Amino acid sequence: MLWSYKVQELELMEVTGLTVYPIKSTRAIPLERAHVTLRGFEHDRRWLLTDENGKFITQRQYPVLATVVTSIVDGGLQITRPETESLRVSTPSAGAYSATVTVWKDDCHALDAGDDAAQWFSDFLNMKCRLFYQPEQSIRSTDARYSKPEDHTSFADGFPFLLTNEASLADLNQRLTDTVSMSRFRPNIVVSGQQPYEEDTWSVIKVGDITFRAAKPCSRCVMTTVNPETGEKEGREPLFTLAQYRRTEMGVIFGQNLIPDQEGMIRVGDKVTIME
């Protein structure tokens, strides 16, 4: 009877949110359904801003990037920001100028999105920068300590997918004076977990028809203190409170990094099953 009860509980777990971020560190796009590829959701973090030396730029240095809104359009992106004309950017062709960009310690092949995009973002951030795209032939391997040799990802921080648990956020918010939304943690997949932080213990899960391996818990940083609506840092929370009870040898953790074993479609409302 105990075994049956546990199975029944797991059947109640489902996907409650799906999100992509076409340009790394810009505002999220919520979706009702999303196509899983081996490097992440289709369109997720395939674009990257860099400084003039090719080093990646994020909200860690420029929190105002949270106010940049992207829309996926035929052949590229439509990009807007407050009080400025929007920008239409075409996905660079194979013959576009290519360069090596740096994301953390990884050097990646990328295609330049052109001078108009570079000027638009340079004016916004008041610094020289460029916008790049990751083409299909650019393979950025994941950390070999937590993955297989063939695993790879986009311009995400380290792994193809980040999953968070609504129960974990509820537990955190009980400890905060001012509650925060899940958007602070920039997940790709949100689930209605039964217990706070149970995602720490998962090894293999199935979301709809797609199987994912849990790579490692996600280490959190100062980006969690950025208000995703205003693009402003708001003190030390929620990172300060998280650090009081979620600090590990991997840092302050919240959420689970995932690697898919196949491609396909997942949807809000899909059942989530813990396989291992």
Encoded amino acid at 32, one letter = E
pLDDT of 3 over the 50 cut: no
Q: In the prediction, which pLDDT does 97 show?
A: 96
Q: What is the mean pLDDT of residues 4-23?
A: 74
Could you report the per-residue pLDDT of 220-258, keeping only the tens digit for each?
999 999 999 999 999 999 999 999 999 999 999 999 999
Q: In the prediction, which pLDDT does 202 show?
A: 97
Distance CA 217, CA 201 (A): 9
Q: Are 75 and 91 in contact (CB under 8 A)?
A: yes
Contacts of 35 (CB under 8 A, 6+ apart): 41, 42, 263, 264, 265
Q: In the prediction, which pLDDT does 2 show?
A: 36
Predicted TM-score of the model (pTM): 0.94
Distance CA 221, CA 35 (A): 28
Beta-strand runs (E) in 204-250: 204-207, 210-219, 226-227, 232-233, 247-248
Decide the pairing of beta strands 161-165 and 15-20.
Answer: unpaired
Higher pLDDT pick, 258 / 3? 258
pLDDT of 9 over the 80 cut: no
Three-state SS annotation for 115-177: HHHHHHHHHHHCCCEEEEECCCCCCEECCCCCCCCCCEECCCCCCCEEEEEHHHHHHHHHHCC
Distance CA 247, CA 45 (A): 27
